[in-house]
Amino acid sequence: MRVVILGSGRGSNAAAILEAQHAGRLGRARVVQIIADKPEAKILELGARFGVPAAFVDPAPFKTKLEGEGEARFIAAVRDANADLVVLAGFMRVLKPGFLNAFAGKIINLHPSLLPSFPGLDGIGQAFRRGVKITGCTVHGVTAEVDGGPILNQMAVRIEPFDTLESLAEKIHAAEHALLPAVIAGLSERV
């Protein structure tokens, strides 16, 4: 299963996927391309570190969504990689119908809450401020509804009375780094 990772930032979840691949824990999946929407994104540095092609693709003209010419460039880049699975790993753009239709049923996202609770931005902060006792992370299929696609798997994280927002974020990131590669490995065995 050929995997393309889309990201916008530091790439910690992409690194977890690539480390799982290096350790033989990614099933029949293989990351074949890393694509970032920001030329300075640290995720691009993972390419050289793990021997995977990494490229910036210009998302213009919009800042928070993929649409128009930027969307067309992303579709072309993912098609060129012959992707079986597109993994959104910290990709901070809303996908529009053109991209969603081009890769229908082949896009997954990682979200830092137990969906359907706390969708959208700052899922960790939302859960912390709400005072819930259990939160976590979710891997879900991507649809037109933001964070509303079918849930593939989740991992719970307990919020302890002594947790701070920072300590909770660390615990959720650790859970994400375990969950996302496991879901990809599971999907690869079904192909």
Q: Which of 111, 140, 173, 177 does the annotation list as catalytic?
A: 111
**Tell me, which fold does domain 2-190 have in CATH?**
Rossmann fold (3.40.50)
**Element of type H or E holding 189:** helix 165-190
- The pLDDT value recorded for residue 190 is 85
Query: Identity (one letter) of the amino acid at 187?
Result: L
Q: Using one digit for the tens of pLDDT, what is the confidence trace for 54-81?
A: 999 999 888 888 889 999 999 999 999 9
Residue 141 makes CB contacts below 8 A (sequence gap 6+) with 105, 107, 108, 109, 149, 150, 152
Angle at 13 between CA 10 and CA 18, to 5 degrees: 105
- The pLDDT value recorded for residue 61 is 84
* CB distance 107 to 144 below 8 Å: no
Give strand pairing partners of 157. 135
Residue 15 makes CB contacts below 8 A (sequence gap 6+) with 46
* Structural domain boundaries in the chain: 2-190
* Res. 20: pLDDT tops 80: yes
The question of whether 140 is a catalytic residue gets the answer: no
Q: Using one digit for the tens of pLDDT, what is the confidence trace for 122-177?
A: 999 999 999 999 999 999 999 999 899 999 999 999 999 999 999 999 999 999 99
* Mean predicted lDDT score pLDDT of the chain: 96
* Mean pLDDT for the stretch of residues 12-27: 97
User: pLDDT above 70 covers what percent of the chain?
Assistant: 99
Question: Pick from 65, 63, 41, 50: which is nearest to 20 by CA?
Answer: 50
Q: With the C-alpha atoms ordered 80, 85, 91, 93, is the resulting torsion angle positive or negative?
A: positive
> 85-88 and 65-66: which strand pairing?
unpaired
* CB distance 153 to 130 below 8 Å: no
